[in-house]
């Protein structure tokens, strides 16, 4: 049986997982139940991240840690709205016919792509 992460990756790759990967807004549930003192006994005193880890759920982040990238070049790819953070469950790669060109001139960095034709 695939894990939650594997189901998400399957869906992102256009494959059909055995069930729909669903990620509820666990932060809303946690905030409400924590404030009301109604967290389940097994989770009393735990943080949201601790509960997610204990249940095997992905960590839910509203504001990601943008400086926590997988590779140095991932910071540059934000220029085209491609984000790859350590806390995301997916990664990306450009197709083989795309060349990424990065040039630095003083304090400026330019990021361009070129399509390579066979």
Q: pLDDT at position 107, please?
A: 86
pLDDT of 37 higher than 90: yes
Residue 38: inside a domain, yes or no?
yes
Q: pLDDT at position 69, please?
A: 81
Q: What is the DSSP code (8-state) at residue 62?
A: S
pLDDT-based confidence at residue 54 (cuts at 50, 70, 90)? very high
Give the residue-averaged pLDDT of 19-30. 81
pLDDT-based confidence at residue 100 (cuts at 50, 70, 90)? confident
Output the average pLDDT for the chain. 83
Q: Which of 71, 62, 116 is nearest to 91 (CA)?
A: 71
d(CA 57, CA 49): 9
Q: pLDDT at position 117, please?
A: 66
CA of residue 37 relative to chain centroid, distance: 30
- 49 lies in the same domain as 77: no
Specify the number of domains making up the chain: 2
Q: Note down the domain range covering 25.
A: 4-55
């Amino acid at each position: 049986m695939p894990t939650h992460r594997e189901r998400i990756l399957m869906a992102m790759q256009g494959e059909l997982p055995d069930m729909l990967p669903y990620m509820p807004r666990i932060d809303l549930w946690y905030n409400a139940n924590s404030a009301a003192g109604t967290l389940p006994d097994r989770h009393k005193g735990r943080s949201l991240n601790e509960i997610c880890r204990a249940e095997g759920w992905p960590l839910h982040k509203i504001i990601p840690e943008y400086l926590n990238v997988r590779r140095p070049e991932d910071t540059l790819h934000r220029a085209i709205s491609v984000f790859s953070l350590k806390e995301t469950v997916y990664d990306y790669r450009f197709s083989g016919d795309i060349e990424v060109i990065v040039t630095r001139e003083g304090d400026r960095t330019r990021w361009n792509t070129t399509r390579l034709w066979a």
